[in-house]
Amino acid sequence: MSSRDGLNFKRWEEAFIRPGPERNGNWSYGDGYQCMGLFETPSDRPGAENELSFYVDENAWMPEHQLRRWTIRIDGFVSVNAPRSGGGFITKPLVFDGKELEMNFSSSAAGSIRVEIQDADGKPIEGFTLADADETFGDTLARAATWKGKTDVSSLASKPVRLRFVMNDADLYSFKFKR
């Protein structure tokens, strides 16, 4: 489930964790059931971002019952996803305060995200058009969107704008404006 306000939730019916390959003892009632709680842990890879960790039951009704620790990226539960053929979305008009548009995203080596900033009516703003937008690719919790190598969006602060994300083979988990 996810929620923007902590009161209204959206629930997905698809499994987040599956029991895995069939072997003796798994695929029984309760396998893959998450234990209470999430906690931030350092990655086991030097220099990598912290992760979210959680525990999951395995072999729930068997003598070999155990817990397994799983990890996922920070803010990595829900994303806007685009296949290699492409996709994207446009936000509702929003007003921001900040200097940079920071993204938490993941793409394939061939994938990317570009961001166009539009006025409230959907007209691209000069200097922030799709043609000006640099392709951003990789896998990071925080990278600034760029337009012809520049990140500064402060000239648009306090004005209603729309963000148009154009993506291919990428997931956008979150974005924010950073001061």
> Tell me: the pLDDT tens digits for 92-106?
999 999 999 999 999
Contact present, 120 and 162 (Cβ < 8 Å): yes
> Tell me: the pLDDT tens digits for 112-169?
999 999 999 999 999 999 999 999 999 999 999 999 999 999 999 999 999 999 999 9
Phi first, then psi, for residue 168 (nearest 5°) are -145, 135
**Region 11-31: what's the mean pLDDT?**
73
Tokens of 175: 């974005």
Contact present, 175 and 102 (Cβ < 8 Å): yes
- 80-178 placed in CATH 2.60.290: yes
Distance CA 51, CA 74 (A): 5
What is the band of 26 on the pLDDT scale with cuts at 50, 70, 90? low
pTM for the whole structure:
0.80
Share of the chain above pLDDT 70, in %: 96
For the chain, the domains span 1-74, 80-178
Looking at residue 3, its pLDDT comes to 78
